[in-house]
Amino acid sequence: MSLTFSLLGTSGRARRGRLHTAHGTAETPAFMPVGTAAAIKALASDQVRATGAEVVLANTYHLMLRPGAARIARLGGLHRFMDWPGPILTDSGGFQVFSLAQLREIDERGVTFRSHIDGAKEDLTPERAVALQRELDATITMVLDECTTWPVEEAEAAASMRRSMRWAERSKAAFAARPGYGLFGIVQGSVWRDLREESAAALTRIGFEGYAVGGLAVGEGTARMVAAAGYATACLPADRPRYFMGIGRPEDIVAAVALGADMFDCVVPTRSGRTGQAFTRRGTVNMRNARHRDDPRPIDADCACPACRTYGRAYIHHLVRSEEILGLTLLSLHNVHYYQDLMRDIRVAIEADRYDDFQRDFAAQQALGDIEPV
């Protein structure tokens, strides 16, 4: 049997579920830390596991270029390679082709591009994207899609989406089913309701173990993003997991869960940590600011991560300003921990059928801001 999903409860459109895979279960809604090159930046795998994360994401584009999917396969697959025994989702590489690669040429067959690393010419087709992810031993494989840019005209978005749907059908044909593994389709269509609905209907006809909503958080703004995500989600099967790709600000996750989203990923927690920013229950804090230099408080008094249990803001501030690597590690660890705490609290609220209350409380607490010591 392929990867499966159990819907355990709802609160409005918010869903509480569980993902069953060959590499264990994962509670949803879930946030997946991003390990682009088979590593969550600044953190070891055991540190990531200790935050409560159950699924991580790695990227096919980066791994096919370096060190190569075949090499990872010879070394026992991605789980052994990066010491992550739990489920791993691999992005097909489509977004990175369109955001990083040079001299792209797109046609019905796929994409030809030059590597951003050394300029070498590469081809990526739906079939090759699936084969690469099989070599990596991804628990969840993503279809190859064309990530529509923003701004974009509706006619261009329609043509791009329909090409992605044809690629999705080829990806499905190329995917070899295995017990506990699955293939996710990706809804495209930019900000237009009819295109999102058409895309969701096409993917549902093809049939996948899960469905992603892609092509958002690319500059279209929060209002358009939430509306487009809502159009897509309303048309997707209720018995399959729904993955909102690349949506990663806490307030956006809280809003997307209310639309029925189950899975999220983003580089925001670790990228913010590497720039001195910490997420807290009262909003984002910049640890580079001088006001922290004599502050003995933890980053977040309600957080049980190692950074908050052991160190005060003054020390974290000193590390960041001194450009000590430990500072970036502690902040990244704290942020990933904060995101996992947020997802746990979301799951508890859905189980209690009080997600509307949770949303209001979350917004009110974030609006308080970081309070200075008296």
Catalytic site residues? 91, 265
Q: Given its phi and psi angles, is residue 90 left (phi above 0), alpha (psi -120 to 50 degrees) or beta? A: beta
How are beta strands 210-213 and 277-280 bridged, if at all? unpaired
Residue 34 DSSP code: B
d(CA 18, CA 69): 29
> Does residue 39 contact residue 82 with C-beta atoms inside 8 Å?
yes
Read off the tokens for 300.
């977040």
Q: Could you give the angle at the alpha carbon of 274 between the alpha carbons of 138 and 282, nearest 5°?
A: 100
Rg (CA), the chain: 20
Cβ–Cβ < 8 Å for 36, 65: no
Q: 373: how many CB neighbours lie within 10 A of its CB?
A: 9
Angle ∠(7,12,13) on CA atoms, nearest 5: 60
The CA–CA distances, whole Å, from 216 to 77, 102, 246, 260 equal 30, 22, 7, 16
Are 228 and 256 a contacting pair, CB within 8 Å? Answer: no
